[in-house]
Structure 1
C-alpha cells in the first residue's frame, strides 16, 4: 500500500533550482533513505513532504488517516515542561482513555447507579469495551515504553523531572527523536537522527527502527546506519532523483554500473556525432549531396544528447566520520 507520494516536486531558492521534477513513494512498512551531496536538497525535500515548506510545483499525496512525525536536522525539543511530561504528550489519547476508565470506576461505586440494574449493566459493558480498546492501544505499556526509549537514547541517569529548557542542544535533539519514536506514526521521517548519538545509542536506534511497525524515511550521512536499516535508497543529484532497491552498499554498486553503462552510451553517441559532423562538413557544399547533408544536420540537431556519467553531480559525496568501530565511511 502506498502511504505517501511526492509527485513532480520542484523548488528553487532565487535563481538556484534545488529540486526539479522529483518523484518519491513511501510504501507501507518501507525503510527508505535519501542520500546526496551537501546542498542537494535532502532537507528541503523532507520539509516539503511534511508540509513545513511549500513546493513551487508538484504535490504531496497522503493516504487517508495516515499519521506522520518529522524530526528536523538538529531540531531540538523546546519546552518548559519536564522530560517526563513532554514524553507523556505522545500518549494524550491513551491518557484520555485512562481518565475515562477512572471516571467509570467511580460511577460503578455510586449507589444510585448500582441501584439501577439496566444502567449498571450498560456501564459494565462500556467499561469492558473501553478497557479492551485501552489495552489494545498499549495503555498498560506506555510508561514502560517511555522509560525504554529514554534509556536507549542516553537519558538513563537523568532525573525525568528535569525541565527540557535547561538541557544541552544535543540532549534536546535526542529528546525530540524520543518524542517522534514514542508517537509511533505510520510514517517516521528523520533528518540526520544519528547526530549526538554514541555507539550504544546508535546500536539501540538501529534495532528499534528495524522492528518499527511503520514506514521510515531517513536522511543520514552514516553509511553503516543506512546499510543496516534501509531497503530503498533515493539519490538526489543536481535537482533530480533516482530510486535504487537495496541498502546503501547496493546503491553504490548499482549506481557505478549505471554510470559505466552511461559512459559507454556517451562514447558511442560521440562517435556517431563525429561521423555525422564529418559527413556534413564534406558534403554540405556539394550540389549532388547537399540535401543528404542537410538531412543529417537536422537529425544531429534533434538528437537527444547522452550526458557523460557524473556530469550532473555538482560536488563530492561524503559521509561524516564515524567512531572507530564503524570506520570506513564513504
Structure 2
C-alpha cells in the first residue's frame, strides 16, 4: 500500500498541494485528472521521488517499487539498439550474467583440486540459482512480446535508437517500464505517441496488470476503459471518486450543482442577516438580537465556488462550397527510394465527408494525408483536386514555422483575418493561452504550447477541406471539447489522423484504414470500425458464408444444405487454426527435445566425477544455460499459440451456436 500523507507544496505564493492525502491499494487503476496547471504531472513526480515537497511524505513497503514515465525527457543511449536499450532496464540480470562469465573464465585458470576452484564453483551455483529465479530465461521472449505490442517490428529490434523519432523513443521507455513490472506504475500521457492498434494493446495490458496504475491522460475513452478509480486535483485539493472518468464527471457535476445551491442559499441568508443588522443596529429593543446575528455571521463558514471557466466556444467561418468530388487519387504510387509505401491505390473524397484515418504507425498515414494536402510529391499516378477546393493542413512540424520573435497574439494577428484582438484572445483561450500567456514570445514556449498555437492560427484560415495530423496530442479535456464541438459544426470536408476515439466518434462518418501497401474505407466512426474489424479478424468467414448462415437461421435451407453449410463453417475454422496447430506441434517437439537434453545434462552434472574436468564443466554449463533459455522461450511461445487457438475456437463456438 502506498500512502500519500499530508503533502504540501508551494510554487511561489500559490499552494499547488495543500495537505493532500490518499491511499493507493495494490491492483488499483487510477486516473489522475484536473484542469491544466493543477499539478497532475508534479504529483506523479512527487510520488516517484523526483520532486521534493514542503511538508508531508510518500510511504510504502520496503519491497515495493515505482516505475515512472514522464511526458518527455526520454534520453536513450545512442550507442545501443532498441533491444539492448530495453534490456538495459534489467541491470541485475545483466550483472549476474556478467558474473557468470567472469567465474567461468576464472575456473579455466584454477587447479580443479584447489580450494579456490571449489569456492568458485559454489559461487557459480549460487549465481545460477539467482538467475533461474530472476526471469532471465524468459527475458528475451518478454522483451519481444512487449516491443511487438507497442508497434515495433522484429526488424526494428536491432536498429539503433538514434533512428527513431521522439514518439518511438517514448515507446522504448514505456517498454522498459512495463517489463520491470513495478508495484506502482505512474504514466504521464502514455497514449500521445501510440497508434490505435498499440493503444488497444496497452489498454488490455494495463487492465490485466498485477500492480497498481496511476495515469494522467486526456483520452477519455482510454481512461474509461482502464481505470476504476479517479483522483481529481483542483485548487490544491485531492478528491477521491470510486469510478472511471465518466463516473467522476457525473459525480463532480452533481456536487458542483449541489454546492451552487448551497452557496445561493447561504448568500440569501447572509443578505437577510445583514439587512436585519443594518435595520435594527441602533434600536435598543433589538440590541440583543443584533448582537446574536453579528456573532452568527462571524461563525458562519463561507462557501466558496470554484472560479467558473467561461463557456468558450469556437465556430469556423462558413467555407466556400467546393465541388461534389473534393479530391481523387488514381493508381497512386509512392516510393521513398526502394521503399514502396503505396502501389496503385485509388481513393476519392466527397464533399461533406468527415473521415478518421487510422492504422499502425509506419503504414503511411501521414504520407497519405500529405499527398491529399498537396504537399507530398507522388511517384506516379494522379492526384486531382476538385472544383474550388482549398485545403487547410495541420501537422506537428507546423510549430517550427512560427516566428520566434512574435508573441502568441502577434502570430494570430499575422494570420491576416482582421479578427478583433478580443476575438483572437478568446480563440487563444480555447487552446490554453489565458491572461498574460498571450504575450509570451514564441521562443520561450514549450513544444506543446507551440503546437497549440499553430493549431489556433491554422483555424483562422481553415479552407473547405481540413486535414489534421494528430491535432489533440497537446490539448486538455476542455480544449479538445471546444475543438470537437467546432469540427462537429464545420460545414466543409474533413480528414483527421488520430487515435482518440472519444474525440473522433461524434465527428466522423467514415474511417479510412491504412495498412502497409493498401487502404480500406469503413462506413462508420472509429468505434464502429474497431468492432467490425474485431469481428472480421476473429471469424475468418467470408461474406458469402455469412449470408448463407443468415439464410439457414431464417429456415430457408434444406437439411442437406444446412449440413453442407455446417461442414463449410467447420472447414473455415479448421483452415484458420491449422497453421497455428502446426506451429504448436513444432513448438511441442522443440520443448520435448530440450527437456530431454536438460535432463541428460542434469544427470551428467549429478555425477561426482563431472567436476574433474574443468573444460568439460565450462562447456556443459554453457550448454545447460542455453538449453534452459531455449526451453523457457518455447514454453512462452506454446502458451501464446495455445491461447490464440483456444480464443478463436471459443469465439467461433459462440458465434455459430445454434446456426445449424
Summarize deviations over 1:104-155 as a string: whole Å, max 9, x none: 7789999965899xx59x958983x755543443222111111111111122
Summarize deviations over 1:217-269 as a string: whole Å, max 9, x none: 11110111111111111111122221111111111121122122212322222
Structure 1 gap segments, 5+ residues each: none
- Sort the Cα spacing of 1:243 and 1:104 in 2 relative to 1 into closer, same or farther, 3 A: same
> In 2, Cα distance between the equivalents of 1:282 and 1:98?
88
- Sort the Cα spacing of 1:324 and 1:183 in 2 relative to 1 into closer, same or farther, 3 A: closer
Secondary structure of the structure 1 residue equivalent to 2:135: coil
1:250 has 2:247 as partner: yes
1:142 has 2:139 as partner: yes
1:318 has 2:317 as partner: no
Contact kept in structure 1, 2:182 and 2:211, CA below 8 Å: yes
- The residue that corresponds to 2:326 in the other structure is none
- Sort the Cα spacing of 1:317 and 1:162 in 2 relative to 1 into closer, same or farther, 3 A: closer
Secondary structure of the structure 2 residue equivalent to 1:10: strand
> In 1, Cα distance between the equivalents of 2:283 and 2:172?
78
- The residue that corresponds to 1:5 in the other structure is 4
> In 2, Cα distance between the equivalents of 1:53 and 1:273?
43
Contact kept in structure 1, 2:194 and 2:499, CA below 8 Å: no
- The residue that corresponds to 1:240 in the other structure is 237
* Structural mapping, 1:91-170, within 5 Å: 91-99=90-98, 113=112, 127=125, 133-156=130-153, 158-170=155-167
- Name the larger-Rg structure: 2
| Bigger mean CA deviation after superposition, 104-113 or 191-200 | 104-113
Secondary structure of the structure 1 residue equivalent to 2:275: helix
- Sort the Cα spacing of 1:319 and 1:175 in 2 relative to 1 into closer, same or farther, 3 A: farther
Q: CA deviation at 1:214?
A: 1.3
- Sort the Cα spacing of 1:257 and 1:36 in 2 relative to 1 into closer, same or farther, 3 A: same
- The residue that corresponds to 1:261 in the other structure is 258
- Sort the Cα spacing of 1:283 and 1:190 in 2 relative to 1 into closer, same or farther, 3 A: same
- 1:18 paired residue among 8, 16, 19: 16
Matched positions, count? 323
> In 1, Cα distance between the equivalents of 2:198 and 2:477?
26
- 1:275 paired residue among 272, 276, 290: 272
> In 1, Cα distance between the equivalents of 2:18 and 2:43?
11
1:46 has 2:76 as partner: no
- Sort the Cα spacing of 1:325 and 1:38 in 2 relative to 1 into closer, same or farther, 3 A: closer
Supply the RMSD in Å over aligned alpha carbons: 3.1
> In 1, Cα distance between the equivalents of 2:100 and 2:74?
35
1:194 has 2:170 as partner: no
1:59 has 2:57 as partner: yes
- 2:293 paired residue among 291, 296, 314: 296
Contact kept in structure 2, 1:69 and 1:189, CA below 8 Å: yes
- Sort the Cα spacing of 1:281 and 1:93 in 2 relative to 1 into closer, same or farther, 3 A: same
- The residue that corresponds to 1:89 in the other structure is 88
Higher relative contact order (CA 8 A, sep 6+): 1
Contact kept in structure 2, 1:187 and 1:217, CA below 8 Å: yes
1:173 has 2:161 as partner: no
> In 1, Cα distance between the equivalents of 2:479 and 2:150?
22
- 2:74 paired residue among 73, 76, 90: 76
> In 2, Cα distance between the equivalents of 1:137 and 1:312?
53
| Bigger mean CA deviation after superposition, 52-61 or 183-192 | 52-61
Summarize deviations over 1:282-311 as a string: whole Å, max 9, x none: 211101112320221121122101223x43
- Sort the Cα spacing of 1:6 and 1:223 in 2 relative to 1 into closer, same or farther, 3 A: farther
Structure 2 gap segments, 5+ residues each: 311-431, 433-475, 485-497, 507-660
Q: CA deviation at 1:71?
A: 0.9
Secondary structure of the structure 1 residue equivalent to 2:213: strand
1:215 has 2:391 as partner: no
